[in-house]
Amino acid sequence: MGIKNCVTQLRPRQNKSVNHLKRINSLLEAESVQISIDELLPSSPTHRTQIYEAAVVLVAMAGVSLTASKIKSIINNNEDEFSKIAKDWTTGVLKDKRNDEILSDWYANIGYPISKLGKFKDFIHQNTG
């Protein structure tokens, strides 16, 4: 009688086939490498300064709710005055769509104090010297 009780409690095991390659690929795709924008800044203090100044320009023109499209629009519509160094760096970072929100937030945080003055209609950045 004891053997019969053991047999009735057993359940057939489902055959699970795991595709290890697919699993590794899905793990790699799920992993996102977080790089700080600060790590992407150029080593030249002059170039970094122009990028920080660009943050003020962008927030002054668009407000703190920056998006990648607003950034690109400001840069492209004001090519004569927007710093070439800041433009090249910004467009380089925005080539990867994953950076859109991160860069927008980064610029908004740096340029935030200027937002207290309201939105600007124009700026001088490239030709200040």
Residue 61 has a pLDDT of: 86
Asked whether residue 70 carries a pLDDT value surpassing 80, the answer given is yes
Distance (Å, whole) CA 86 – CA 124? 14
Residue-range domain boundaries for the chain: 47-117
- 99 alpha carbon, distance to own chain's centre: 2
Residue 16 has a pLDDT of: 64
Q: What is the residue-averaged pLDDT of the chain?
A: 79
Q: What is the mean pLDDT of residues 73-95?
A: 89
- Measured at the CA of 57, the angle between CA 47 and CA 87, to 5 degrees, comes to 45
Residue 92 has a pLDDT of: 93
Distance (Å, whole) CA 4 – CA 119? 82
pTM: 0.66
Asked whether residue 54 carries a pLDDT value surpassing 60, the answer given is yes
Q: Are 84 and 18 in contact (CB under 8 A)?
A: no
Residue 78 has a pLDDT of: 78
